[in-house]
Amino acid sequence: MSTALKRARALLFAALLAAAAIPALAQQNEAKTSLSATDVGTIYFVSARHDTNAERIYQKRVVLSDVIKSELRFPENMKPGTKVPAMVVMHSSGGVTQDIVDWCKYLNSLGYATLMVDSFATRGIQRTAENQKLLAYGASAVDALQALKLLSTDPNIDRNRIGMIGFSKGGHAGLMASFEKIRQGVIDDDLKFAIHILFYPVCSIHAKTTGAPIRIITGTKDDMNTIEGCRNNYQALKNDGADVEEIEYDGAYHGFDTKGNLAWIGGAQTWKDCAIGTVNLDTGTAKLVDGRVMSGKEFAAMRDAGCMKHGISAGGAPKWRTQSKEDVKALLAKQFGVNPG
């Protein structure tokens, strides 16, 4: 290959790299740290690096390097000059789907503003069901807390009435965001979520919480985790003093609120065959129901290498879609005093 041809190819490659960097630079420049009364629609904000784990958050070593895309929406019947309650909406391992968009529209119809966080798009991730390490759970929790910080600056939103709702991976992010030391690792003042509504989250961690209500909605046939393992984890949270209540749908599978029919997802990671146990993130110690005690790192390694498998059944049903919306409506009405009629 001639020198001139090599130089031409190098110049072309450099130009392509520069062109690819333009969207990322634009997003970085558009990232907001506060909101105005006129902000609506697509909002970018800065969050943690994709591999951020709980240990880094506890040690306050969070690197805020990733720009995250989100969508801010308000109720149509919002009265000028009033502050409305709001919900941060965290998606599942499938990313922002129509089901997530529909949840936002439903919450808007009830009188809540929504900030739908897209933890995948700007990180170049399509889905994580087959490999959850593409985006660490800790990074997702920081996404939720950074979204909370941003929403709290909006003059149209009551900063004391911001809750969150999360689905699967987003539910796990919401659970982590309820832990006081996780919150303190991201937020400097007393700002916290007013309520955490978690749909079928991972069931293997607990810690001292912020005290805000945690409401977990899950199905008894969820085979990403076992219902017995989830009940054990809920009890561990309660033993820590958390305000936790579970709503169980008998016979419902993972993703019961979605419009997709029940189907086998062969590549999805599952921990249903793992020994039942939970890690106390505050102490770094795992306790199994069979009496064994080990470090959190040993527990994680055991689950990842020894018992984690692939393949789950997931899908929704009209019965559970309707019921879950009614339950969320009731939970939020009780928490925020909003009566949509």
Q: Tens digits of per-residue pLDDT, 139-185?
A: 999 999 999 999 999 999 999 999 999 999 999 999 999 999 999 99
How many helices (H) and strands (E) in the chain? Answer: 9, 14
Yes or no: say if 269 and 130 are a contact pair by the CB < 8 Å rule.
yes
Distance CA 219, CA 233 (A): 15
Q: Where are the alpha helices (DSSP H) in 110-213?
A: 137-151, 169-177, 180-186
Strand, coil or helix: 177: helix
φ, ψ at 217 (rounded to 5°): -115, 120
Yes or no: say if 149 and 62 are a contact pair by the CB < 8 Å rule.
no
Query: Could you give the angle at the alpha carbon of 258 between the alpha carbons of 254 and 264, nearest 5°?
Result: 50
By CB atoms closer than 10 A (0-12, 13-18, 19+), residue 16 is exposed
Per-residue pLDDT tens, the chain, 341 aa: give them.
Answer: 555 545 555 444 444 444 444 445 445 668 999 999 999 999 999 999 999 999 999 999 999 999 999 999 999 988 888 899 999 999 999 999 999 999 999 999 999 999 999 999 999 999 999 999 999 999 999 999 999 999 999 999 999 999 999 999 999 999 999 999 999 999 999 999 999 999 999 899 999 999 999 999 999 999 998 999 999 999 999 999 999 999 999 999 999 999 989 999 999 999 999 999 999 999 999 999 999 999 999 998 888 877 999 999 999 999 999 999 999 999 999 999 877 65
Yes or no: say if 147 and 140 are a contact pair by the CB < 8 Å rule.
no
Distance CA 139, CA 154 (A): 23
The pTM for the full model equals 0.90
Domains of the chain: 33-262+316-336 (3.40.50.1820)
Residue 254's nearest CA partner among 214, 205, 217, 308 is 217
By CB atoms closer than 10 A (0-12, 13-18, 19+), residue 83 is middle
Residue whose token pair is 């968009």: 101
For 186, the token pair is 């991201």
